A and B are shown apart, each in its own frame.
Chain A
Amino acid sequence: MTAITGDPDEAVAGIADGATVLVGGFGMAGMPVTLIEALIRQGATDLTVVSNNAGNGDTGLAALLAAGRVRKMICSFPRQSDSWVFDGLYREGRIELEVVPQGNLAERMRAAGAGIGAFFSPTGVGTLLAEGKERRTIDGREYVLEYPIKGDVALIGAYLGDRRGNLVYRKTARNFGPVMATAATLTIAEVRRVVELGELDPEAVVTPSIYVDRILDLSAAEASS
Chain B
Amino acid sequence: MTFPIPPAGRTVEHLGRGPLGRDELAAVVARDIPRDSFVNLGIGQPTTVADHLAADSGVILHTENGMLGMGPAASADEVDPDLTNAGKIPVTEPPGAAYFHHADSFAMMRGGHLDVCVLGAYQVSERGDLANWHTGAPDAIPAVGGAMDLAIGAKDVFVMMTLFARDGSPKLVRECTYPLTGLACVSRLYTDQALFQVGPGGVTAVETYGTTVDELAARLDVTVSRLDGR
Which B residues lie within 8 Å of A174 (CB)?
A: 66, 99-101
Which B residues lie within 8 Å of A206 (CB)?
A: 101
Q: A125-B183, A175-B66, A176-B101 are in contact. Are A76 and B144 (CB under 8 A)?
A: yes
- Residues 148-182 of chain A, each 1 if its beta carbon lies under 8 Å from chain B, else 0: 00000000000000000000011111111111000
Closest to B179 in A: A128
Is A99 among interface residues, defined by CB-CB distance under 8 A?
yes
Q: Are B145 and A77 in contact (CB under 8 A)?
A: yes
Shortest Cβ distance from residue A76 to the other chain B in the assembled complex, whole angstroms = 5
Q: Are B146 and A102 in contact (CB under 8 A)?
A: yes
Is A137 among interface residues, defined by CB-CB distance under 8 A?
no
Q: Are A102 and B101 in contact (CB under 8 A)?
A: no
Is B67 among interface residues, defined by CB-CB distance under 8 A?
yes
Complex Cα–Cα for A97 and B102 (A): 21
Q: Are A126 and B183 in contact (CB under 8 A)?
A: yes
Is B214 among interface residues, defined by CB-CB distance under 8 A?
no
Stretch at the interface among B27-35, B46-54, B135-143, B160-168: B135-143
Closest to A111 in B: B103
Q: Are A172 and B82 in contact (CB under 8 A)?
A: yes
Closest to A179 in B: B103
**How big is chain A's contact interface, by range?**
35 or more
Shortest Cβ distance from residue B133 to the other chain A in the assembled complex, whole angstroms = 8
Q: Are A77 and B144 in contact (CB under 8 A)?
A: yes
Q: Are B141 and A78 in contact (CB under 8 A)?
A: yes
Which A residues lie within 8 Å of B102 (CB)?
A: 26, 52, 102, 106, 175-176, 179
Closest to B67 in A: A172
Is B110 among interface residues, defined by CB-CB distance under 8 A?
yes
- Residues 121-157 of chain B, each 1 if its beta carbon lies under 8 Å from chain A, else 0: 0000000000000100001111111111100110000
Is A129 among interface residues, defined by CB-CB distance under 8 A?
yes
Is B81 among interface residues, defined by CB-CB distance under 8 A?
yes
Which B residues lie within 8 Å of A175 (CB)?
A: 65-66, 101-102
For B100, B109, B145, the residue with the greatest tally of chain A CB atoms inside 10 Å of its CB is B145
Which A residues lie within 8 Å of B144 (CB)?
A: 76-77, 99-102, 129
Q: Are B65 and A128 in contact (CB under 8 A)?
A: no
Within B95-126, the residues touching A (CB, 8 Å) are 99-103, 105-107, 109-110
Complex Cα–Cα for A101 and B139 (A): 20
Q: Are A123 and B65 in contact (CB under 8 A)?
A: no
Is B204 among interface residues, defined by CB-CB distance under 8 A?
no
Is A104 among interface residues, defined by CB-CB distance under 8 A?
yes
Is A124 among interface residues, defined by CB-CB distance under 8 A?
yes
- Residues 54-69 of chain B, each 1 if its beta carbon lies under 8 Å from chain A, else 0: 0000000001111100
Complex Cα–Cα for A104 and B143 (A): 14
Complex Cα–Cα for A100 and B183 (A): 17
Is A208 among interface residues, defined by CB-CB distance under 8 A?
no
Q: Are A77 and B66 in contact (CB under 8 A)?
A: no
Is A121 among interface residues, defined by CB-CB distance under 8 A?
yes
Shortest Cβ distance from residue B186 to the other chain A in the assembled complex, whole angstroms = 14
Q: Are A90 and B141 in contact (CB under 8 A)?
A: yes
Q: Give the A-binding residues of B (Cβ under 8 A).
A: 63-67, 80-84, 88, 93, 99-103, 105-107, 109-110, 134, 139-149, 152-153, 179-183
Taking A29-B65, A103-B110 as given, write out 15 further A-B residue pairs in contact, using a Cβ cutoff of 8 Å, ordered by the A residue number: A26-B65, A26-B66, A27-B88, A76-B143, A79-B140, A90-B141, A99-B144, A102-B64, A102-B146, A103-B148, A122-B153, A123-B153, A127-B181, A169-B99, A171-B83
